[in-house]
Amino acid sequence: MEEDEELNGYPIFFLVWISWRQEEEEGEEMLGMLAARAQHRGRLSERRSGGLNRGKEKATIGTPYDDDMGNSEVGHNALGAGRIYAQGAKLVDLALETGKIYEGEGFKYIQQCFENGTLHLIGLLSDGGVHSRLNQLQLLLKGCAEHGAKRIRVNILTDGRDVVDGTSVKFAEILENDRAQLREQGVDAQIASGGGRMYVTMDRYEVGFDLCFMLKGEEVHETVKFGHVTFFWNGNRSGYFNPEVEEYVEIPSDVGISFNVQPKMKVSEIAEKARDAILSRKFDQVHVNIPNGDMVGHTGDSQATIVGCEAGDEAVKLLSFEILAFLL
């Protein structure tokens, strides 16, 4: 949309439904998304005003490989940018491949401590390709040693969310083998600490590309995805572009409760807040995120995922009816 184009009084409504699977692949077990009676989501897709945005292929969101599923962060980055660009994992691959990562000011700064100090690395340990790439850690360890690091400590966060439960032992063994090879080269490399991502950092979230024009908008989301549709959507930029025309509504997520125990999450509250924003006619665009498929699906509880997806579908029903009433 060009800057001088008018919206003719109609708001733009962004509905992001994370981890929704549209088609069933032959031979795969029926997933919760397909088993759920998501009638209203299906009807919305059939309308000319609805559409399915695939966030899977690298050509769509800028991830390294065709079979890299990406994640909700890169999906929101791409949607917010409105264009295809190389995303984080691909940029890291290129930086490691070319050695550019060792030429930056950040690496040169920590390199000053290599002679007498300790290099600490912390991150997720898995090959899930969503939030972690084991081969990148392996290359980084090798590269740091080649650039003078004499004492390295790795602080690992095991996965069990993007990969199968129990696989952390396999990844730790791979890391141990790499560590042994570094020690043969005179590098003191050790695993210093560890913990599970669901308990240490990612069970609940605490929580740029400049637009060619600025719309008055409202973002409505619950805490677990609040950063996705503010920080990630805005090109990894914190805060408002312009607080005079933007409004962020954060609905607190449940605390201390597993998503499969409360699979409906806060999706009904999200829908109600979004409905109110649309009907207020105060905003040029309203942005809503339905997180159930992602957050509940990750638990591996198919029945809970069905409940979560059906709750999301009810939210779509409420919003689609309100939007149709608005247009008519």
Residues 6+ apart with CB under 8 A from 270: 220, 221, 222, 251, 288, 289, 290, 315
Give the containing element (helix H, strand E) for 58. Answer: helix 58-61
Q: Are 267 and 292 in contact (CB under 8 A)?
A: yes
Give the closest residue to 152 by CA, choosing from 182, 181, 197.
182
In the set 19, 72, 168, 253, the catalytic residue is 72
The closest of 219, 209, 214 to 15, measured between CA atoms, is 219
Rounded Cα gap, residues 38 and 17, in angstroms: 12
Residue in 89, 92, 157, 155 with CA at minimum distance from that of residue 126? 157
72 is catalytic: yes
Q: Which pair of tokens denotes residue 74?
A: 């890169």
Measured in whole angstroms, the distance separating CA 12 from the mean position of its chain's CA atoms is 23
Give the integer Cα–Cα distance in Å for 33 and 177.
Answer: 40
Both tokens of 122, joined, read: 């912390």
Q: Which phi and psi (to 5°) does residue 281 adopt?
A: 60, 20
* Cα–Cα distance for residue pair 220/201, rounded to 1 Å: 24
What are the phi and psi torsion angles at 229 (to 5°)? -105, 10
Q: Cβ(250)–Cβ(278) under 8 Å?
A: no
The tokens for 11 are 């708001």
Q: Closest Cα partner for 129 from 97, 177, 161?
A: 161
Catalytic residues: 72
